[in-house]
Amino acid sequence: MTTILKQEKDLISRQSAILEAGFELFAENGFAATRLEDVAARAGVAKGTLYLYFDNKEELFKRVVENTLILNIAPIEAKLEQHQGPVLPLLEDVFGHIGEMLSKSRIGTFPKIILAEANNFPELAKYYCDNVILRIQGFFTKIIEKGIATGEFRKVDPEASARILMAPFLMLALINQTPVIRDGIGLDPKAHIKAARDILISGLKA
């Protein structure tokens, strides 16, 4: 029994190492330039071991996106479902949470990768759109609909307005991961998100 548990822990540990290595290399090199042998080397496993967990690079990329992005979306979706009362404080909190996440981690490299390589890898782009972009858009749409229902927000097109709310985060993700442009325009992530929150939420208020 102890031996089986140890084997399971070793399998999980190796898989975690592979996912972390994949995240690092995709962030550094993009999808096309990342090689599975390099992922295996950084994870400290043989290339053959990697295939015990993932059939190909596309599957590895999807799992990395799932671990780094999708798992970060689920908690804010749950927070909205459980939320009672005015939605304005929740929207302000979400703005701060997403802004901090994008400015302090390399998660923001994924929109850049997808936009740069979508034409060459349309299936991956569709996966990202369906599982990340549309889920975030859906979250903002629901929160706007709730705000309209409670009388906090004006009667706007919820879906179109949701995309507008997402725009500052896309800009932050793309530019914050490009130091020469970030420093050239003097982008301060905190100030950027605060300004976006103040301007966009003021535009929504009834």
What confidence tens digit (pLDDT) does each residue in 104-156 have? Answer: 778 888 898 999 999 999 999 999 999 999 999 999 999 999 999 999 999 99
What confidence tens digit (pLDDT) does each residue in 55-72 have? Answer: 999 999 999 999 888 888
> Which part of the chain has CATH 1.10.357?
58-204
Question: pLDDT at position 96, please?
Answer: 87
Tell me how far apart the alpha carbons of residues 26 and 97 are, in angstroms, rounded to a whole number.
24
Q: Output the average pLDDT for the chain.
A: 89
Residue 58 burial class via C-beta count within 10 angstroms: exposed 0-12, middle 13-18, buried 19 and up: middle
Question: Which residue did the predictor score with more confidence, 105 or 30?
Answer: 30
Tell me how far apart the alpha carbons of residues 99 and 78 are, in angstroms, rounded to a whole number.
19
Collapse the DSSP code of 205 into the 3-class scheme (helix H, G, I; strand E, B; otherwise coil) and give the result.
strand
**Given this structure, which CATH class describes domain 58-204?**
mainly alpha
Question: pLDDT at position 126, please?
Answer: 95
Q: Which CATH architecture has domain 1-54?
A: Orthogonal Bundle (1.10)
What confidence tens digit (pLDDT) does each residue in 173-196 have? Answer: 888 888 899 999 999 999 999 999
Tell me how far apart the alpha carbons of residues 133 and 100 are, in angstroms, rounded to a whole number.
18
Question: pLDDT at position 10, please?
Answer: 57
Tell me how far apart the alpha carbons of residues 86 and 106 are, in angstroms, rounded to a whole number.
32
What's this model's pTM, rounded to 2 decimal places?
A: 0.87
